[in-house]
Amino acid sequence: MEKKLYTITVFSENTVGLLGQITIIFTRRALNIETLSVSPSALEGIHKFTITLFTTQDVVEKVVKQIDKRIDILKSYYNTDEDLVHQEIALYKVATEKLLKLGSIENWIRDHNTRILEMNEDFVVFQKAGHYAETQRFFVELSESVGVLQFIRSGRVAITKSKVERLSDMLEAIKKYEK
Amino acid sequence: MKITGAKALIESMIYEGVDTIFGYPGGAIMPTFDALYDYDKKVNHILTRHEQGATHAAQGYARVSGKVGVCLVTSGPAATNAITGIADAMLDSTPMVVITGQVGAPLLGTDAFQEIDVVGISTPITKWAYQIRKAEDIAWAVARAFYIARSGRPGPVVLDITKNAQFQEIEFEYKPCTFIRSYIPIPEVDKSQVQLAAELINAAQKPYALVGQGVVLSNSENELKEFLQKADIPAAWTLLGASAMDSDFELNKGFLGMHGNVAPNIKTNECDVLIAIGMRFDDRVTGDLNHYAKQAKIIHLDIDPAEINKNVKVDAPVLGTIKETLPALTALINPAKHTGWINSFKEHDDLEYEKIIAREVFPASGELTMGEVINKISEATHHNAVVVTDVGQNQMMAARYFKYSQTRSLVTSGGLGTMGFGIPAAMGAKVGAPERTVCMFAGDGGFQMTIQELGTIMQEQIGVKMIILNNHFLGMVRQWQEMFFEERYSFTKMKNPDFVAIAKAYNINGKAVKERSGLDEAIADMLKDDKPYLLVVDVEMKGMVYPMIPTGAAVDHILLGE
C-alpha cells in the first residue's frame, strides 16, 4: 500500500502521562513521528495533539483506533493534506555581517513573506510561516547564500476543512451516557 | 471523621464489592497492610509466595467468578514481579485491579529505595495506570479503577499509591464511578449494521460462527445458543471461548486454531458467511491471513472498535456488547436448516478421530499419553470441573480433550502464553468458585516456574487438583524442534525433582503414576475429597500435539501427523 503523510489529531484530557500513552502506540509499530505539536485546545481542560507521520492508510487507521481506545483520550482521527488547512512556523538565525554583504534583502522579505523578529550587530532572526516545502525553500536559500547559524521548525498545526466538528459531536453524543 | 488513606483504600474496595485480595506485603504498602489487619472479617487476604502468583491467582479468580480480581503488593520489585500477570490480563481481557505501594511523594524521581516508575512500566499493558500521591484522590481513583477494569472490554488497572497518601488522614466519602466522558465502554448498536449482518446470514448457504471470550465476558451464553439454533449455524470456539458452549451442544463443532480440531479449521475456508462473535482473529486462530476465509463474507460482532478490521477486513462490523448485538441479530435472522453443510463436518471429524484421537485418547498399549489422562479426569469429574492449564502441550491437550458442561470452565493464558500461570491461576479459580472441582494441568516445566505457590495452597488449604503431565521435556518446544529444527533438542530436556516428595513437604498429598494400570485408582484417590492433591503422570516423552497448523500456514493446511 502507498505510504503518504497523514495528520493525526488527538483531543485528550489534560492528565499526566498522556503523551507517553500516545507515543508508545507509535513505538510498538516502529513508526516515526514526523512532527508533533501539543497545546491547550479551545475547550478548557482539553488538550490537542497534532501528529504527522508517513505511513499507509491501513496502519494509520489502526493507530488512530488504538489511540482512541486509551481511557483519557476524547477523540482521535486522521486526515490527509487535502482535508486540512495546515501550517508550520520556522525561525532562522543568520550572521548580520554576512547579510549586510548581500546588499538588499528586500526581495527575500517579499518573496518569502518573511518577518524579522530580532536584529543586532551579531545576528538577525527571520520568521517564516508556511507549509514544510515553503519553510524548507527559504532555509535552502539562506544556507546557500549566507549560511544559517540556527534553524528551528515547529510541528504542524492544522484545522479540518470539513463541516463536521468531531470533538463537539463526540461531547454532545456522550451526554446521554451521563446519568 | 477522618481516616487514614490506607483505611480509605480498603473501605473503597469494600464499596466495590471486594472480599478477596491476593497480595504480598512490603515496605511501601505497609500502612495499607496494617489497616487490613482490622478487616479480617470483611476481606479474605491470601498471602501468595510471589507477586506473580498473586496476579495469576487474581486472574483465575476473575475468570471463574466474573468479578474483578484484586492484588495488593509493594513497590519496586513487587511491582515488576506483578508485570507478567498484568500483561496476561491485558491480552486476555481479564478484569483486575493491581494496587502497588510506592515510595513517599517527596522521594519520587530520586531513585529511592524500591522506587520504580510503575505507571511508566505498566501503561502499555493496562487499560489504565494511575499514581495516587495524596489521600484525597484515593476514593476517586479506586472508583474509577473498578469501573474501568470491569466495564466495556475488561482489563487490568494499576493504582500506584505513595506511602504518604496511605498515612495521610482525610474525610472519607465514597462515590462509585459510572461515567467518564472520554470513555465509552459499550458502543451504541448501529441497527443498520445488524440489518446488514442479518441479510448476509439469511442469504447464506454455509454460515459458520466463531465464538470467542466476548460471549463469556458479557454472560451471553444463552443468547448465543438461541442465535445458533434459530438459523441452525454450526459454531467453533477459540481457546478463550472454550466452554461458552457445552461440549455436547449439537452445533458445537469444536476448537479453532493451530492445535484445534480439523473440521473447524478447514470449514473456515469453505463457509460462505463467517460470523465472528466476541473474538479477535488472533494469529493462532487465523494462520496465514492471505488465505483466511477469503471466500466468505465476514461479520464481526465485538465491543472494541480497535478490533474491527485489525487483522481481517470485515464486511459487516457490528459494534456493541454481544449481550445486545446478538439478540438483535437473532431477531432479524430467518429460521433455517443447514443439515448438509453441518453434516459435511463429519468426514473431517472421523478422519481426526482415526488419525489422532484414537491414538492420543484411547491408546490400547504403549506409554501413557497426555490426552488419555485429560480425558479420564474429565470423565471422572463428570465434565463439570473447572480446568486450569499451564502453557504448552498440556494446555493444548486440555483444551482439546477436556469437556465442558458449564461456562467459565477453562482458565488458561491465551494471549500472553505465560508458563507458570497454572498453579496460581488454579488457586484463584478455586477461591473464586469454591463449590467446583478445579483441575490444573501443567507440564514439568511450567509447574516449576511457580512451584513456590504450593506454600500458599498449604497455608490456605486451597483444594486444587494438580496434575503434572511429566514428559521430562519442555514438550511444545521439543515438538517444534522435532518438526522444524531437525530434532536438535537445544535445552529442552529436564532432569526433574521428586514432585510428590516436594508436595509432601508442603503437606499436600500426591501420587506418581508411571503405568496405565495405576491411573484410574490414582484419579479416584485425587478426587475422593476436596483437599489439594498432586498427581504426577509420566507420559510418553516425545508426545506430539496434533493436528497442527504450522506458523504462517493457511488454516486448511492442517497437519495430522504420522
Three-state SS sequence of A44-108: CCEEEEEEEEEECHHHHHHHHHHHHHCCCEEEEEEECHHHEEEEEEEEEEEEHHHHHHCCCCHHH
Both A110 and A67 in a single domain?
Answer: no
Q: Containing domain of residue A41, as a range? A: 4-79
Residues of B annotated as catalytic (active site), given as ranges: 51, 113-114, 163, 476
Contact B123 A17 (CB under 8 A): yes
Nine cell digits for residue B221: 451464553
Which residues in chain B are contacts of A21 at CB distance < 8 A?
123
SS3 B139: helix
Domain boundaries, chain B: 2-171, 191-346, 367-538
pLDDT class for A179, splitting at 50, 70, 90? low
- Of A45, A79, A113, the residue that ends a domain is A79
The answer to the question of residue A75 being in a domain is yes
Both A90 and A75 in a single domain?
Answer: no
- DSSP secondary structure code for residue B144 in this structure: H
Give the span between the Cα atoms of B21 and B434, in whole angstroms. 15
Nearest to A177 among B184, B304, B305 (CB): B184
The answer to the question of residue A172 being in a domain is no
Look at domain B191-346 and name its CATH class. alpha beta
Nine cell digits for residue B510: 500426591
pLDDT class for A176, splitting at 50, 70, 90? confident
The answer to the question of residue A135 being in a domain is yes
pLDDT given for residue A162 in this prediction: 87
Residue B422 CB-density burial (10 A; 0-12 exposed, 13-18 middle, 19+ buried): buried
**B2-171: what fold?**
Rossmann fold (3.40.50)
Cross-strand pairs, B460: none
pLDDT given for residue A105 in this prediction: 87
What strands lie across the sheet with B509-513, from one edge to the other? B410-411, B386-389, B438-443, B464-470, B533-538, B509-513
Q: Are B414 and B391 in contact (CB under 8 A)?
A: no
Both A64 and A106 in a single domain?
Answer: no
Nearest to A178 among B131, B179, B310 (CB): B179
Non-local (6+) Cβ contacts of A70 within 8 A are: A18, A21, A22
Q: Are B161 and B74 in contact (CB under 8 A)?
A: no
**B367-538: what fold?**
Rossmann fold (3.40.50)
Both A108 and A68 in a single domain?
Answer: no
Complex ipTM: 0.92
**Which has more confidence, B439 or A15?**
B439
Both A65 and A91 in a single domain?
Answer: no
Q: Please check whether the two domains, B2-171 and B191-346, share a CATH topology.
A: yes
Both A73 and A107 in a single domain?
Answer: no
Give chain B's end-to-end CA distance (angstroms, integer): 73
pLDDT given for residue B430 in this prediction: 98
pLDDT given for residue B394 in this prediction: 98
Both A92 and A72 in a single domain?
Answer: no
Percent of chain A whose pLDDT exceeds 70: 99
Give chain A's end-to-end CA distance (angstroms, integer): 45
Contact A20 B310 (CB under 8 A): no
CATH number at residue A41: 3.30.70.260
**Which has more confidence, B454 or A16?**
B454
- Of A79, A101, A132, the residue that ends a domain is A79
Contact A74 B305 (CB under 8 A): no
H or E element that contains B252: strand B252-255
Domain total in chain A: 2
State the virtual CA torsion across A125, A130, A135, A138 in degrees, nearest 10.
-70
Both A99 and A60 in a single domain?
Answer: no
Give the span between the Cα atoms of A40 and B232, in whole angstroms. 55
Amino acid residing at B541: M
H or E element that contains B341: helix B339-343
CATH number at residue A133: 3.30.70.1150
Residue B482 CB-density burial (10 A; 0-12 exposed, 13-18 middle, 19+ buried): middle
Over residues A1-18, the mean pLDDT reads: 94
Q: For chain B (length 562 residues), average pLDDT per consecutive 10?
A: 96 98 98 97 98 98 98 98 98 98 97 97 97 98 98 98 98 96 95 98 98 98 98 98 98 98 98 98 97 98 98 98 98 98 98 97 95 98 98 98 98 98 98 98 98 98 98 98 97 98 98 97 98 98 97 95 80
Interface probe with B: pick from A76, A166, A177, most Cβ of B within 10 Å: A177
SS3 A152: strand
Query: B150-166 in b/e burial notation, b at 16+ Cβ within 10 A?
Result: bbbbbbbbbbbbbbbbb
> Any chain A CB within 8 A of the CB of B175?
no
Which residues in chain B are contacts of A177 at CB distance < 8 A?
179, 184
State the virtual CA torsion across B295, B301, B304, B307 in degrees, nearest 10.
-10
Both A74 and A94 in a single domain?
Answer: no
Interface probe with B: pick from A11, A63, A71, A76, most Cβ of B within 10 Å: A71
pLDDT given for residue A178 in this prediction: 78
The answer to the question of residue A42 being in a domain is yes
pLDDT class for A1, splitting at 50, 70, 90? confident
The answer to the question of residue A166 being in a domain is no
Give the span between the Cα atoms of B562 and B550, in whole angstroms. 15
- What would the pLDDT profile of A144-163 be if each residue is shown by its tens digit? 999 999 999 999 999 999 88
- Of A54, A79, A104, the residue that ends a domain is A79
